[in-house]
Structure 1
């Protein structure tokens, strides 16, 4: 039987009278790379923010179970200590800190200096550009370099679950390919990932399973390979008839 890392049941999110998420069910099992695709405004980012406790004032209902325990209403800083990490839309790097300092911030819950140093070297080997610029302020990096840094920083916490919110947004095609190469590599190392992504084709090619979200509801789910070949998914999200 698959081990649930994340299980969402009947999740509803409302901002006043606006229902942004309308009772969705979603689960992510250990070692899986799951993608949540859909048009802008479908409720994908709101779902991630409900998981991580980073929503502004709103009403959240339903169950959010992480590693078997409810985390609905938990503070985001508490979740980091429980090895749940998120790379937010827009990346959110500490612009006035260096690359190296950003990576150290990702490891602030750890006290194994040798392990932290080894992990920094590891992610420098994955992202050579970061190593070349380790003393550079993060705010001076390109969008793609900041995305690399945000991912490496999140991985420094050794997450049981890594949430990625639109990692390819605003990047050049070459950089998008690099980011997805890293996502696949991290998944192959056994890190459990929930990926929200506008590039449905690349997301489904990388993922094990997928969910389609439309107007706050899950309208389709299944094996990612099957969804890639589904005419309705192709017509709506892959630019194919």
Structure 2
């Protein structure tokens, strides 16, 4: 049995005459934390949306397999039942629901009531600020608190694969530090993670392997820590 959790072969995405993704190959193996870094507009978020079937109308070619099965025919809302969860760019919390209700929504595919409540208590322990505000509407939270909630909600389904799209975007440095601490912890728990992130240094420090995306193409791939010392990566993404 293959260790591939996610395998992308020749993915192309075009909006009219504009090619956002130009034929990329990418794979994430069981237990890995893999990061996809690159500048704004490189095609990173488009790649994640292609995986989850949440792209606007466009032309898509290539194959995407999850645990050996093609994803193309699946509706995006069914992915959580298959233990594939995504924390989207912009967090996507249910603003008119409380924190507690958001977490319950993350577990909607489950029916083990005691286990769900135990998991909620577990994430409240990781994010004490959420526990303090559990009855507060999610739309009234700060950006960092919403990011905590979005991550905890996604993890409530016990995902096999967790997709994270720009989790540090717009957050204060102390909050970024907390979010990456949790990302590393999630990886250590054995959850497979694909992380799209503009903060290349933090992403490479946390990840096992990395891909660099430029103008819709994968231009580099390899060991994440080694990329920290690569002059091309330093010049383009690390400000060195």
| TM-score (structure 1 length as normaliser) | 0.98
- Alignment match, 2:211: 211
8 Å Cα contact 1:2/1:30 also seen in 2: no
- Alignment match, 1:34: 34
Query: CA–CA distance in 1 between the matches of 2:48 and 2:202?
Result: 20
3-state DSSP class of the match of 2:190?
coil
Deviations 1:203-231 (A, max 9, x none): 00000000000000000000001101000
3-state DSSP class of the match of 2:79?
helix
Query: CA–CA distance in 1 between the matches of 2:84 and 2:56?
Result: 20
- Alignment match, 1:157: 157
Query: CA–CA distance in 2 between the matches of 1:73 and 1:231?
Result: 41
Deviations 1:36-63 (A, max 9, x none): 0000000000000000000000011101
Query: CA–CA distance in 2 between the matches of 1:122 and 1:197?
Result: 26
3-state DSSP class of the match of 2:108?
coil
8 Å Cα contact 1:11/1:22 also seen in 2: yes
Deviations 1:146-178 (A, max 9, x none): 000000000001111000000000000110001
- Alignment match, 1:67: 67
Structure 2 gaps, min length 5: none
8 Å Cα contact 1:85/1:163 also seen in 2: yes
Please state how far the C-alpha of 1:78 moved relative to its aligned partner: 1.1
Structure 1 residue runs of 4 or more that deviate by more than 3 Å after TM superposition: none
- Alignment match, 1:225: 225
Determine if the alignment matches structure 1 residue 168 to structure 2 residue 168: yes
- Alignment match, 1:136: 136
Determine if the alignment matches structure 1 residue 113 to structure 2 residue 113: yes
Structure 1 segment 68-83 matched on structure 2, within 5 A: 68-83=68-83
Structure 1 gaps, min length 5: none
8 Å Cα contact 1:103/1:120 also seen in 2: yes
Deviates more, 1:66-75 or 1:23-32: 66-75
Query: CA–CA distance in 1 between the matches of 2:205 and 2:73?
Result: 33
The alignment's C-alpha RMSD in Å is: 0.8
